[in-house]
């Protein structure tokens, strides 16, 4: 939640106002104002957090060291100063710099954790490693950002950014409640073994999101720039559909192979996760489609519609958890998540299309979605692991063939010919 609050919706604001800017200089001006506001928000919350550190330490359960709390707050307050420059690199399609900086932070943090643990600093060493690596990355990014765009605090721009970002921050908190509350409610309603199996299923389902993440990192930073370009609406619809298609393929890949991995890698007590992971990857696929088909809601100057949708869906989800989980356990939680995810998709798609009607290939997407669901259900029929593997690979090939046949994903041969034509 701290990351969501300190992010202040500014990354989305940068994508929206920077992506729809008339030219490169205007885009840099927007980025400079976003970065300036992010620094101010970080400093404000940083000072408040450090002043409240003793009270926060006392409020936390267990024996927590005040120094650990202060170090965690340092890492959190640098969130905006890190996220905005990294998002700017993605908008500029500087993937190499993005990778080097992100991986360098992770490597430095891992090395410091190892050293501090060897020196006997324990938990304090781990949070210190996080704070130090975040500080180093923020300093490097600040220098790069200042050289490229500078830093500004223009009154009109700041007012626009705050009005746009604040509802998105509230939306993020509501979405966090929906996606995180299930584990809390389930923990109080089922046994330890069932809870552990559910946790394992969540971990495996997360792999589908990781597989689709590279496309999302590229697309969400570029979609408003694509929208502004000639024939932008058609290209936006095509590229969003491609992302949804890749999400379906990732969901099938993980949903069909995870039960085999769970069976081989975990004790029998965790094998109930095989039943849950199939539905969890479907929830991911729905969420992925929602995120890809909501550009109309974000293209305007206001983000209040998104906030109202997220709050409404989160409220329905909380009610579903309270009513269904005590009676049905984990299936009740999964049913609530599926229902809430579908409602969220329908609302975002409706209001997005009403604000900006894009020519999505809905019939082809619907066919591929049905193929994906059918493949996931058929993949549960085999009784032995060998049969599961054989059937899984066959069904995955079927889904991939459907992706190419529908034209939602360009055939590799066409991509190769296109690159050769551009090279010549």
Per-residue pLDDT at 403:
84
Percentage of the residues of the chain whose pLDDT score is greater than 70: 96
Indicate whether 324 and 185 sit together in one domain. Answer: yes
Q: Note whether residue 265 is domain-resident.
A: yes
Q: Render pLDDT for 200-211 as a digit per residue (tens, 0 to 9).
A: 999 999 999 999
- Which tokens belong to 70? 């202060």
Indicate whether 102 and 175 sit together in one domain. Answer: no
Domain boundary among 153, 182, 212: 153
Domain that holds residue 249: 168-423
Domain boundary among 105, 122, 153: 153
Q: Note whether residue 270 is domain-resident.
A: yes
Indicate whether 118 and 186 sit together in one domain. Answer: no
Q: What are the contacts of 67-71 at 24+ separation with CB within 8 A?
A: 67/124, 68/123, 68/124, 68/127, 71/124, 71/127, 71/128, 71/130, 71/131
Phi/psi for 373 (5° steps) reads -65, -45
Q: Note whether residue 163 is domain-resident.
A: no
**H helices of 60-93, where?**
66-77, 79-91
Query: Average pLDDT in the 61-65 region?
Result: 77
Per-residue pLDDT at 338:
94
Indicate whether 140 and 175 sit together in one domain. Answer: no
Q: Give the pTM.
A: 0.88
Indicate whether 306 and 260 sit together in one domain. Answer: yes
Indicate whether 80 and 123 sit together in one domain. Answer: yes
Confidence of residue 278 (pLDDT cuts 50, 70, 90): very high
**Alpha-carbon gap, residue 137 to 108, rounded angstroms:** 10
Indicate whether 194 and 332 sit together in one domain. Answer: yes
Query: Average pLDDT in the 213-241 region?
Result: 91
Indicate whether 61 and 149 sit together in one domain. Answer: yes
How many domains does one find in the chain? Answer: 2
Confidence of residue 423 (pLDDT cuts 50, 70, 90): very low
- Which tokens belong to 50? 């450090």
Q: Note whether residue 287 is domain-resident.
A: yes
Phi-psi region at 389: left, alpha or beta (left = phi > 0; alpha = psi -120 to 50): alpha
Confidence of residue 422 (pLDDT cuts 50, 70, 90): low
Indicate whether 278 and 347 sit together in one domain. Answer: yes
Q: Note whether residue 161 is domain-resident.
A: no
> Residue 243 half-sphere exposure, CB side, CA atoms within 13 Å?
28
> Residue 265 half-sphere exposure, CB side, CA atoms within 13 Å?
12
């Amino acid at each position: 939640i701290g990351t969501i609050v300190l992010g202040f919706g500014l990354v989305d604001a940068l994508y929206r106002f920077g992506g729809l800017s008339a030219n490169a200089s205007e885009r840099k001006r927007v980025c400079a104002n976003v970065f300036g506001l992010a620094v101010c928000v970080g400093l404000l919350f940083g000072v408040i957090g450090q002043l409240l550190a003793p009270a926060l330490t006392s409020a936390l359960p267990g024996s927590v060291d005040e120094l650990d709390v202060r170090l965690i707050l340092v890492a959190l307050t640098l969130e905006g100063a890190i996220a905005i420059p990294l998002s700017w690199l993605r908008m500029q399609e500087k993937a190499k710099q993005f990778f080097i900086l992100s991986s360098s932070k992770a490597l430095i943090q891992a090395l410091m954790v190892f050293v501090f643990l060897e020196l006997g600093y324990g938990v304090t060493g781990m949070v210190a490693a996080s704070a130090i690596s975040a500080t180093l990355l923020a300093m490097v990014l600040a220098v790069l950002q200042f050289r490229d765009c500078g830093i500004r605090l223009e009154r009109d721009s700041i007012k626009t950014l705050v009005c746009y970002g604040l509802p998105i921050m509230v939306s993020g908190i509501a979405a966090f409640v929906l996606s995180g509350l299930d584990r809390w409610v389930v923990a109080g309603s089922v046994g330890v073994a069932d809870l552990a199996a559910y946790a394992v299923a969540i971990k495996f389902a997360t792999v589908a999101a990781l597989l689709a993440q590279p496309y999302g990192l590229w697309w969400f930073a570029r979609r408003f720039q694509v929208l502004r370009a000639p024939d932008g609406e058609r290209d936006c619809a095509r590229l969003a559909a491609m992302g949804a298609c890749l999400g379906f393929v990732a969901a099938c890949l993980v949903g069909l192979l995870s039960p085999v991995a769970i069976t081989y890698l975990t004790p029998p007590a965790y094998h109930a996760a095989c039943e849950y992971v199939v539905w969890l990857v479907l929830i991911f696929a729905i969420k992925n489609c929602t995120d890809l088909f909501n550009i109309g809601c974000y293209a305007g100057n206001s983000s209040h519609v998104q906030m109202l949708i997220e709050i409404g869906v989160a409220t329905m989800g909380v009610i579903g958890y309270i009513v269904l989980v005590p009676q049905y356990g984990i299936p009740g939680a999964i049913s609530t998540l599926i229902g809430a995810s579908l409602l969220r998709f329908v609302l975002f798609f409706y209001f997005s299309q009403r604000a900006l009607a894009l020519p999505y290939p809905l019939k082809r997407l619907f066919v591929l979605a049905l193929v994906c669901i059918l493949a996931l259900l058929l993949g549960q029929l085999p009784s032995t692991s060998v049969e599961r593997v054989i059937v899984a690979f066959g069904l995955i090939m079927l889904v991939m063939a459907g992706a190419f046949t529908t034209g939602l994903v360009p055939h590799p041969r066409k991509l190769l010919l296109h690159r050769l034509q551009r090279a010549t």
